Chain A
Amino acid sequence: MSHYALTIHQAQEKLRAREVSAVELSQAVLNRIQDTDQHLHSYLTVCAEEALAQAETADRTLANGVTPPPLCGIPIALKDVILAQGVRSTAGSKILEHFVSPYDATVTQHLKEAGAVIIGKVNCDEFAMGSSNENSAFAPCRNPWDTDRVPGGSSGGSAACVAADQTCAALGTDTGGSIRLPAAFCGIVGLKPTYGRVSRFGVVAYASSLDQVGPCTKDVRDCALLLEVIAGYDPRDSTSVNRPTPSYTAHLERGVSGLRIGIPQEYFIEGMQPEVETAVRDAIAHLSTLGAEIVPISLPHTEYAIASYYIIAMAEASSNLARYDGVRYGYRAAEVEDLGALYQTTRAQGFGSEVKRRIALGTYVLSAGYYDAYYVKAQKVRTLIRQDFLSAFEACDIIATPVAPTTAFRLGEKLADPLTMYLSDIFTIAVNLAGLPGLSVPCGFDQHGLPIGLQLIGRPFDEEALLQAGYAYEQDHDWRARKPPL
């Protein structure tokens, strides 16, 4: 097995046994990027020099003989909305094309403290707005299983680079499904933690009440491992929650015996790709054979989730993106004569069309006369959606659904109609509105050889149950053995 294909936990073992050095591992990953990225465009910035320097430091630590930190020498890629000091961070936007962050995100700090090697910054939809990665201002990232297809978005680069073995693991962000959808489309494991579990400090904001950073990994154990490193209260993020982080790896093998798994009728809809439904139902049946109890449940307000989500997300985005004005950093339109032109031309030229569309819509729903009808209404529906889940969790411990109604679609297929694109997130969005954890685990392939994802949704702060169930399922199905044809 080539070094670049290693999972985190495999690499940990080999590094600690000195079977491979951190420099060798990073170099293998860098070579893999070099060899494959012209087909994928996963990476926006490769930090070759810094990565090798960090790997050398890791090798010295590993040679010391003392127990190394958990990610010592392990290459990790960051979605380009996650800031790393001294590294260009574009958020997939022209407006930040040359922005070099003067500070580290809290999750970046956690990774560095855990000894990780930051291998590079990966592609995403501009400001994480999109479901296909086609909204990247630089180049659309492509699906490793079929490069005519999208990797899903917005963390398309994070999922694609993990699936294509261009890193051991990556971090993504998930606002309405932006980790889980690409994870499903690319056949990897992706987790959106409970809102407040992971710090958002240093993560370029899209919709602040929904955004959450999470792991994109090759298997569930890696997911648990990476979550352990990045989770925890951050005094710099007022919305991060002050409660202890459990050891997710310690109890990973607990199994699903006695676990009640809720199946919401609203998540198996007409028009779903039949292979997706079959694969997901098979996965649920398998969990049942492992001792889980299957419980039919209802989440009655599901069909209102997308409308509620887009109003809230666009409103928050319109305000979050006001800071990109060409004054303190970022792109500034050339030869503007007055302040009005500075703002309007800079923003018209610096932002892509989807971002502008969301800013405009968000501005509209917050404007005088529409605030109550749209924004407040959407927040009230958010309450109903959250209540749906909380009552469902009286009857079950976790919920199982498909991640998306279809497998990866073709580039350009949904670009013309924004609403059709928004509907890709139909099964993932409610989880963000309710602030719950959601895990995407590979559960098969369709006839074109495209991966299918199973979504597991948990109670607030119960990532453990999701990881345990995902791990139990994964032990019996090594979908991971199949590799994308690159």
Chain B
Amino acid sequence: MPYESVIGLEVHAQLLTESKIFCGCSTRFGAAPNQHTCPVCLGLPGVLPVLNKKVVDFALRAALATHCTIAPTSRWARKNYFYPDLPKGYQISMYELPIAEHGHVEVAALRPDSGQAQGQAKKVCLTRIHMEEDAGKSIHDAEAGASLVDLNRTGVPLLEIVSEPDIRSAAEAGHYLRSLRTLLQYIEVCDGNMEEGSLRCDANVSIRPQGNAELGTRTEIKNLNSFRAVEKAIEHEIQRQSEVVEAGGRVVQETRLWDADREVTRPMRSKEFAHDYRYFPDPDLLPLVVDQAWVEHVQADLPELPAARRARFIHDYGLPVYDAEVLTARKDVADYFEASVRACPAVPKVVSNWVMDSVLRFVKEEKLDAALKIETWPCSPEHLGMLIGLIQDGTISTTIAKTIYEEMRQTGHPPEEIIEAKGLRQVSDTDTLQAAITEVLTANPDKVEAYRGGREKLLGFFVGQVMRATQGKANPQMVNTLLRQQLSQ
């Protein structure tokens, strides 16, 4: 029987605030264990939470960027469960009244990382967005028989973004997640780094006979810490569920963990206690009231979103639709492009070609997709713009520019400096070129004869020889013109 898979994603995005959601501890990653803790985030007796305003600002940004309805009053709830990395024995979250509901994400038709087509553009609806606090971290393999607990991450603000079960394939889940990440990066609320855990994803997966409207029993898959894991795990889980059903069995509602090494999902063993989170309104936090003025303020400050930027690239820079989509699929790439154009405003399309051909290729090759450090890329956008400018004004040839670019990428030096140091300036001096041409023609009397006898294709050969003699620095247009003159004499 053909099955249709039904997938919904729950995404947790760590927010880029300086301090934690309910206390004044730093959110910075990588501190010594329990350094970024205080009585509040350690859940000592008597402590109370006080909400970080920036967290609400960021939640509102995300809500506006995903076309959600914003609740004028939302409410904090306690989610009760026991775990060593959850100090209070409950997580402060939102339940009955989340800050935002009923939004959607437009899943782009191109993959943000490669610019390759990924099928139809579509809308994935969002059930809700809410704020909550992160838990700490447990280390399981440092000591036999013991786990170690570090609570630095406890209380780091999270947005939970829950999609409707609108997704129909593992690949589509990946596309949705990439588009969502792009959006969060655009609005500067999350760095989107899955490997470091600042963007996390759980998948709810079920299958049903094609054409059925009813939903099947779903499983929740956790431990998905890369795009690849999301796609692989969902693919595997669909396969597993199909096999269970094909064999006459029933899918059990459960939480499963993705084992990235073995590429399988397996049931979580620690869930022997039936889950009953006993949500109730947190008596320590009053309802959150967001008035229209606050929403308008956040709206006014909202950074440009991908769709608007795409349109602007087409309109302002005259770029083809394809270029605009590829460049805007990642905010850092789009920023890089615009910074390059500022250094070389005359030819945006040429800049676009350079960014797509060179920058994106290296970004991909060097896995900058994961580390996302285009700001620290050695070749600054200004230098790239300067390089293109130098081609435009005839200082260097396109061929030489490629060599210079390679050097810029490795050293971070400005193009002028490399040109000077390596003497790569284009030779446009007529006397020098004439001399080089004379030398080439003198060395190849038979080919000169043949050319003059009508084999005009040999012109390319002569140009190549002249370029070689000048280590590629000769101005190709001038070489062409001068060659024709000499050969016709």
B90's partner among A322, A327, A329, A368 (CB-CB below 8 A) is A322
Taking a contact as CB atoms closer than 8 A, the residue among A83, A89, A238, A316 that contacts B48 in the complex is A238
Of chain B, the residue at the smallest CB distance from A322 is B89
Q: Identify the interface centre among A202, A203, A204, A327: most chain B CB within 10 Å of its CB.
A: A327
Q: Is the interface of B mostly helix, strand, loop or mixed?
A: loop
B272 (CB) vs chain A CBs: closest residue: A340
The reply on A208 being an interface residue by CB < 8 A is yes
Contact, CB under 8 Å: B48 / A201:
yes
Contact between B48 and A328, CB atoms less than 8 A apart: no
B285 touches A105 (CB 8 A): no
* Contact, CB under 8 Å: B42 / A203: no
Contact in complex: A375, B280 (CB < 8 Å): yes
Q: A201–B151 Cα gap in the complex (Å)? A: 21
Interface size class on chain B is: 20 to 34
In the complex, residue of chain B having the shortest beta-carbon distance to the beta carbon of A127: B45
The listed residue with most B CB atoms (<10 A of its CB), out of A208, A322, A343, is A322
Q: In the bound complex, do residue B284 and residue A323 qualify as a contact, i.e. CB atoms below 8 Å apart?
A: no
Contact (Cβ within 8 A) B90 A103: no
Taking the complex as formed, is A91 at the interface, i.e. its CB lies under 8 A from any CB of chain B?
yes
Q: Are the CB atoms of B149 and A327 closer together than 8 Å?
A: yes
Residue in A closest to B151 when the chains form the complex, CB atoms? A328
Residues in A whose Cβ lies below 8 Å from that of B89: 319, 321-323, 325
B142 to chain A, nearest CB (A): 16
Which residues does chain B contribute within 8 Å of A201, judged by CB atoms?
46-48
B283-A363 in contact (CB<8A):
no
Shortest CB distance A289–B (Å): 43
Could you mark each residue 68-104 of chain B with 1 if its beta carbon is under 8 Å from any beta carbon of chain A, else 0?
A: 0000000000101010100111100000000000000
B39 closest partner in A (C-beta): A103
Interchain CB contact (< 8 A) of A319 among B39, B50, B280, B286: B280
State whether B43 touches A328 (Cβ < 8 A).
Answer: yes
Are B44 and A329 closer than 8 Å at their CB atoms? yes
Bound-state Cα–Cα, A328 to B37, Å? 12
The distance in angstroms between the C-alpha atoms of A460 and B436, with both chains bound, is: 99
A251 nearest CB across to chain B (Å): 30
B448 to chain A, nearest CB (A): 89
| Residue among B78, B84, B276, B285 making CB contact with A327, cutoff 8 Å | B84
Q: Are A102 and B39 in contact (CB under 8 A)?
A: yes
Minimum C-beta distance from A380 to chain B (A):
13
Residues of B within 8 A of A233 (CB): none
What's the tally of chain A residues with a CB closer than 8 Å to chain B? 43
Distance of A200 Cα from B78 Cα, bound (Å):
19
* Given contacts A103-B39, A319-B280, A89 and B45 within 8 Å (CB-CB): yes
- List A contacts of B80 (CB < 8 A): 318-319, 322, 366
A416 touches B (CB below 8 Å):
no
Given A202-B46, A237-B48, A363-B278, A316 and B283 contact (CB-CB distance below 8 Å): yes
Q: Per a CB cutoff under 8 Å, which of A102, A209, A238, A339 touches B44?
A: A102
Contact of A322 among B42, B49, B82 (CB under 8 A): B82
Q: Are B280 and A371 in contact (CB under 8 A)?
A: yes
When chains A and B are docked, how far (Å) is the Cα of A478 from the Cα of B6?
Answer: 77
Instruction: Give the contacts of A319-372 with B (CB-CB under 8 A).
Output: 319, 321-323, 325, 327-329, 339, 343, 363, 366-368, 371
Closest partner residue, chain B, to A82 (CB atom): B46
Q: Is the CB of B48 within 8 A of A323?
A: no
Is A239 interfacial (CB 8 A cutoff)? yes
Does any Cβ of A come within 8 Å of B117's Cβ? Answer: no
What residues of B have a CB within 8 angstroms of the CB of A30 in the complex? none
Complex Cα gap A87–B286 (Å): 31
Interface residues of B in 240-298 (CB under 8 A from A): 276, 278-280, 283-286
Chain A residues closer than 8 Å to B49, beta-carbon distance: 238
List A contacts of B84 (CB < 8 A).
Answer: 325, 327, 339
Across-interface contacts of B88 in A (CB, < 8 A): 322-323
Question: CB-nearest residue of chain B relative to A379?
Answer: B281
**Can you name the residue of chain A whose Cβ is closest to the Cβ of B23?**
A236
| Residue B368 lies at the interface, judged by CB distance under 8 Å to chain A | no
Residue in contact with B284 in the complex, picked from A81, A202, A239, CB distance below 8 Å: A239
The yes or no answer to B487 lying at the interface (CB within 8 A) is no
**Given A208-B284, A343-B82: A323 in contact with B43 (beta carbons within 8 A):** yes
CB of B87 within 8 A of CB of A323, answer yes
B90 CB contacts on chain A under 8 angstroms: 319, 322
* Cα of A319 to Cα of B276 in the assembled complex, Å: 13
Q: Considering only CB atoms, which chain B residue lies closest to A95 in the complex?
A: B45
The interface bits of chain B over 7-48 (1 if a CB of A lies within 8 angstroms of the residue's CB, else 0) are: 000000000000000000000000000000001001111111
| A315 in complex: contacting residue of B44, B50, B280, B285, CB < 8 Å | B280
State the Cβ distance, B310 to closest chain A Cβ, in Å: 42
- When distances are taken between beta carbons in the complex, the residues of chain A under 8 Å from B51 are 238
- Minimum C-beta distance from B23 to chain A (A): 9
Does A96 interact with chain B (Cβ within 8 Å)?
yes
Chain A nearest CB: distance from B46 CB in Å?
4
The CA of A236 and the CA of B151, in the complex, are separated in Å by 21
Residues B203-228 near A (CB distance < 8 A): none
| Chain B residues closer than 8 Å to A371, beta-carbon distance | 278, 280
| Alpha-carbon separation in the docked complex, A322 to B277 (Å) | 12
Given A105-B46, A319-B80: A367 touches B278 (CB 8 Å cut-off): yes
Does A235 interact with chain B (Cβ within 8 Å)? yes
A91-B39 in contact given A208-B284, A315-B280 (Cβ < 8 Å): no
Query: B84, B285, B286: which has the most chain A beta carbons within 10 Å?
Result: B84
Closest to B24 in A: A236
Output the least CB separation between B87 and chain A (Å): 6
Interface flags for A101-119 (1: CB within 8 Å of B; 0: not) read 1110100000000000000
Q: Which residues of B contact A318 (CB under 8 A)?
A: 80, 278
Q: Given A323-B87, A325-B89, A327-B84, are A238 and B285 also a contact pair (CB < 8 Å)?
A: yes
B146 → chain A closest CB, angstroms: 10
Closest chain B CB from A77 CB (angstroms): 18
CB of A283 within 8 Å of the partner chain: no
Find A238's partner among B46, B78, B284 (CB 8 Å cutoff).
Answer: B284
- A344 nearest CB neighbor, chain B only: B82
Is A205 at the interface (CB under 8 A from chain B)? yes
CA distance A209 to B276 in the complex (A): 23
Known contacts A319-B278, A322-B82, A339-B84; decide if A239 and B286 are in contact (CB<8 Å).
yes
Q: Which chain B residue shows the least CB distance to A315?
A: B280
CA distance A327 to B45 in the complex (A): 13
Asked if residues A209 and B283 are in contact (CB atoms below 8 Å), the reply is: yes
Residue A99 interfacial (CB < 8 Å): yes
**Across-interface contacts of A239 in B (CB, < 8 A):** 48, 283-286
A257 to chain B, nearest CB (A): 38
* Pair A204/B46 contact, Cβ less than 8 Å: yes
Residues of A within 8 A of B39 (CB): 102-103
The distance from the CB of A351 to the nearest CB of chain B, in whole angstroms, is: 13
- Please tell me if the beta carbons of B45 and A323 are within 8 angstroms of each other in the complex: yes
A327 contact set on B, CB distance < 8 A: 84, 87, 149
Contacting residues of chain A (59-96) with chain B, CB-CB under 8 angstroms:
81, 83, 89, 91, 96
Nearest-CB distance from B34 to chain A (Å)?
9
B278 & A366 in contact (Cβ 8 Å cutoff): yes
The chain A residue sitting closest to B274, CB to CB, is: A368
Across the two chains, which residue of chain A brings its CB closest to B82?
A: A343
In the bound assembly, the distance between CA atoms of A208 and B84 in angstroms comes to 23
Residues from chain A with Cβ under 8 Å of B280 in the complex: 315, 319, 366, 371, 375
Q: Which residues of B contact A (CB under 8 A)?
A: 39, 42-51, 78, 80, 82, 84, 87-90, 149, 151, 276, 278-280, 283-286
Additional pairs, 9, CB under 8 Å, beyond known A83-B45, A200-B48, A363-B278: A204-B45, A238-B284, A239-B285, A318-B80, A318-B278, A319-B278, A322-B88, A328-B87, A368-B278
5 contacts between A and B (CB under 8 A): A101-B46, A318-B80, A318-B278, A328-B43, A329-B44
Q: Which 9 A-B pairs give the minimum distances between C-beta atoms?
A: A322-B89, A209-B283, A366-B278, A208-B283, A204-B45, A202-B46, A323-B43, A323-B88, A323-B89
